[in-house]
Structures are given as C-alpha cells and as structure tokens.
Amino acid sequence: MYFSIIIPTLNEAAGISACLAALQPLRPVCELIVVDGGSTDATAALAAPWVDQCLCCPPGRAKQMNYGAARAAGEVLVFLHADTFLPDQALAMIAESLGQGRCWGRFDVRLSGGHFLLKIIALMMNARSRLTGIATGDQVIFVTRKAFMAVECYPDIALMEDIALSTALGKLGRPVCLRAKVTSSGRRWLGFGVLHTIVLMWWLRWRFACGDAPERLAAIYARGRLWMR
C-alpha cells in the first residue's frame, strides 16, 4: 500500500522543517506533498528539500488539500497539519485498519502545551469523535483515494471542511478510530485562551450546523471572538 501525506501550509516557517524531518523515515512507502497557500515567509523554500512535491495554490485549507490530492500518487491519502506529528508505525496502523474493509479514519489526538485543560480537551475531542463519527483535521484524517473521490473531495468552504468531509464519508461507513495518538499543537487554544476557545469552537460548530456561511464563521474564527459583526 502506497501513501500520500498531504500538508497544507500558510506561514509555517517556524515549524515546517521539524514537521517534515519527522516524516522522512516514512519515505519508502509514501510521498510527501506540501501545498502552500501563498505564505509570506520562507515556508515553501524550507519545505522544498524535504518533500516529493512542493506545490502552490490559492489559500484555503480545503482548496489546498484537494489540490495536493489531485496530484498525489498514493492509494491512501493522509491529511496532516503542519503543527501535528504522527505516532510511530502510523502508516502500518492505517494499512492494517483499512485492510479490514474500512475506507477512512483518524487517530486519537493529544494537544501539546502546559495548560492542564488541554488534556481534558483532547479526551473530549476523541470521545466525541467516537460517538459521532466526525473527525477533525487535528486528528489526521486518512482515506482511500477511491472513497475520497466518491464523496467528491473536500467541499471548498472556508471553515469546517473536516466536518463536512466526515459527514460525507460517514455515508460510506463509520471511521476507523485509532487509539494511537498524534500530537497536535495547542497554540490555538493557548493563543485565544483555553476556556474561551472551547466556547468559540462549540459555538462555531453549532452555527455551522444551523447553516451559517462558512466564510463568516472563518472570519470569526480568525479573530477569535464571538462578538464580531
């Protein structure tokens, strides 16, 4: 089984080399694809020596991941954030789980950072995902190319693309929920304030479920404030 790991980036120069260095041992069975959304820092230049393809396209995480997927050679697509690290034997675990007739899944997640609430947030994220069958990008969604094309890729929306993809894939079958943990940065939670971000994310999910425009929700998310008008 051959994998394509697709990493959307935007101004990730501070951490992209560490992210890609950690993936180098996987190269015999996978290709690495970075899709940059127009970084104004050195992200693309730093990434290029570490990857098989360093692509550029207009910004937007869904747009970038679809762009990379369209140029990927792998039977299985793994969508990885630039601030997230895979566990040991990640690809072997994916291969084994998909070999049981499943077509998509995700990992459990832990959040890096010193705040004690980050552990609780990660536990809640993992439990909610098991209950609902919805995966987030922080949990590293993986999917067979066949299934990804069957649901017509990520919807090109400004926010909640992971929820929309999970909902579509859920019609093909329940996700594999691997208990091995990826490590994702807690910078978003720490930057906005942990308790505030919990409220913000739940509110954004609720408004998305109610039909609010993803573009408006993305602007609120970027500001980190619920009271933006």
CATH class given for the domain over 3-187 = alpha beta
pLDDT, tens only, 125-151: 999 999 999 999 999 999 999 999 999
Q: Which of 56-65, 140-149, 220-229 has the lowest mean pLDDT?
A: 220-229
Q: What are the domain boundaries of the chain? A: 3-187
pLDDT, tens only, 153-211: 999 999 999 999 999 999 999 999 999 999 999 887 787 788 888 888 888 888 888 88
Q: What is the 3-state secondary structure (H, E, C) of the chain?
A: CCEEEEEEECCCCCCHHHHHHHHHHHHHHEEEEEEECCCCCCHHHHHHHHCCEEEECCCCHHHHHHHHHHCCCCCEEEECCCCEECCCCHHHHHHHHHCCCCCEEEEEEEEECCCCHHHHHHHHHHHHHHHHCCCCHHHCEEEEHHHHHHCCCCCCCCCCHHHHHHHHHHCCCCCEEEEEEEEEECHHHHHHCHHHHHHHHHHHHHHHHCCCCHHHHHHHHHHCCCCCC
